[in-house]
Structure 1
Amino acid sequence: MKLIKEEVSDLHEKIPKNRGLIVVNSPKKLVKNNSSPAGKMIVGFEEETNWLMRKLTSGSADLDIISITGMPGSGKTTLAYKVYKDKSISSHFDLRAWSTVDQEHDEKKLLVKLYNQVIGSDLKFSEDIDVADLLRRQLFGKRYLIVLDDVWDTTTWDELTRPFPEVKKVSRIILMTQEKKAALHGNRSADPLNLRLLTPEESWELLEKRTFGNESFPDELLDVGKEIAEIVKGFLW
């Protein structure tokens, strides 16, 4: 990420001087982006997207854990968010909630976040309130989808899943992790979806779309674009 930012910030220095190009006056309009999943676009992964949507909406009526693994930047969060926000998925489930876990997580704060998403509120809780029990009661008897992003270890997984009732409602939990051990611990009966890196063609398409939207790279920037695409090397960044 640091290398990419440096490449972009030094873009004008990378262009041969004899071209006389001033980057800020480029006819192509840059597309505004942000680092949240909602602000990211995705290319490729059509097969993985269709597979994930089928896993969420069909199969066993029991609670099912769907694990997604991959290196940082491989697109786990972006893929899951795309499916999570899909209208056919949102209409399929009674309740949905999403929480990023990471290494320095606070279990109660995470459960409060999930609970507030489920009930559509922003409540605060004192230390003596069992939020896990409240969340379990809200989910019981409902068809729910819970996304736990960036789970680092099996202990964290065991702590966070206590509130999720195993009722025959075709409820689903998406577990995203860099750790294969955590993914297998979440669901021992099925292999996780291990995301591949983008192909060179997909990586170029992503860079082009994130930089210039529906327009193509200007000829003046092709060489610089290829250098950046080489640095990206298939990651969604």
Structure 2
Amino acid sequence: MPASAPQGESDIMGIDETVSKLNDWLLNGELKRRVLLVWGMGGIGKTTLIRRICNSIMSTFVYSAWSLCHHPLAKWAYFNMFLDNLVQQEVRRGAQLKLLDCLNNHVYGKRFLVVCDDVKEENMWDFINFALSEDRNRSRIIMATRDKCITKMVNVQCYIYPIEPMQERVPFDLFARRNFQKDLEEVVQKTLRNW
């Protein structure tokens, strides 16, 4: 992933099984382009999960790009970011449709991985689908969103992965591992129960 992909800790609790399952779904199976939609409330770990997935599978793709698609940017700015990451040429001048067509022509026939993180616009999929069309080359698109409506806008077969809050014990284990020596865990547990 380019420098725009968020960087984080390599030691993350509670998601190894999920990463393995989603990696398998993304890497195996049919030749057609696959779309993974990761959906969940803000701060629940969508970006962290996707980062872990991408770090383990990125080397199997010719091109990869990560774009943070939060609100202030216009749709065309997203594709300029993709183009910067994928094409790395001065081809962005001209009409907006020409931009999308240029991106499609550049990646067509090559295996790509594109991540659209924090998607908030319901029609974003239409632009992605046009610019990164199906070419039966095992390309993958991963989208993360807080908005369940966006998961309904993708009009191709996709895998929607809803992220649920962690089980009660996992957040405490994470907190204790980061903040306390191992021998203090029992004292902290007792204090929290009494609080």
Give the TM-score normalised by the residue count of structure 1. Answer: 0.68
SS at match of 2:71: coil
CA 1:207/1:154 → structure 2, altered by over 3 Å: closer, same or farther?
Answer: same
Map of 1:135-150 to 2, 5 A cutoff? 135-150=103-118
Q: Computing the radius of gyration over CA atoms, which structure comes out larger, 1 or 2?
A: 1
CA distance in 2, matches of 1:190, 1:131: 25
Aligned to 1:104: 72
SS at match of 1:167: coil
CA distance in 1, matches of 2:15, 2:150: 23
1:53 equivalent in alignment to 2:20: no
Aligned to 1:193: 161
1:78 equivalent in alignment to 2:45: no
Contact 1:144 1:171 in 2 (8 A): yes
Map of 1:169-208 to 2, 5 A cutoff? 169-186=137-154, 189-190=157-158, 192-208=160-176
2:53 alignment partner AA: V
Aligned to 1:160: 128
CA 1:171/1:226 → structure 2, altered by over 3 Å: closer, same or farther?
Answer: farther
Give the TM-score normalised by the residue count of structure 2. Answer: 0.81
Gaps of 5+ in 1: 1-35, 231-237
2:33 alignment partner AA: L
User: Per-residue CA shift, 1:55-111, capped at 9, x if unaligned?
Assistant: 21011211111111111111111000111111xx12211111110111222222211
1:185, distance to aligned residue in structure 2 (A): 2.1
Computed over aligned residues only, the root mean square deviation of the Cα atoms, in angstroms, reads: 3.1
CA 1:187/1:174 → structure 2, altered by over 3 Å: closer, same or farther?
Answer: farther
Contact 1:42 1:79 in 2 (8 A): no
CA distance in 2, matches of 1:164, 1:217: 53
CA distance in 2, matches of 1:191, 1:63: 12
1:192, distance to aligned residue in structure 2 (A): 1.1
Aligned mate of 2:8, from 39, 42, 65: 39
Gaps of 5+ in 2: none
**Aligned residue pair count:** 188
Q: Report % sequence identity.
A: 24
CA 1:131/1:200 → structure 2, altered by over 3 Å: closer, same or farther?
Answer: same
CA distance in 2, matches of 1:127, 1:210: 51
1:73 alignment partner AA: G
SS at match of 1:131: helix
CA 1:91/1:195 → structure 2, altered by over 3 Å: closer, same or farther?
Answer: same
SS at match of 2:22: helix
CA distance in 2, matches of 1:166, 1:190: 13
SS at match of 1:161: helix
Greater mean alpha carbon deviation, residues 177-186 or residues 77-86: 177-186
User: Per-residue CA shift, 1:172-201, capped at 9, x if unaligned?
Assistant: 111111112211322554551111111222
1:226, distance to aligned residue in structure 2 (A): 4.9
CA distance in 2, matches of 1:200, 1:122: 49
Map of 1:15-30 to 2, 5 A cutoff? none
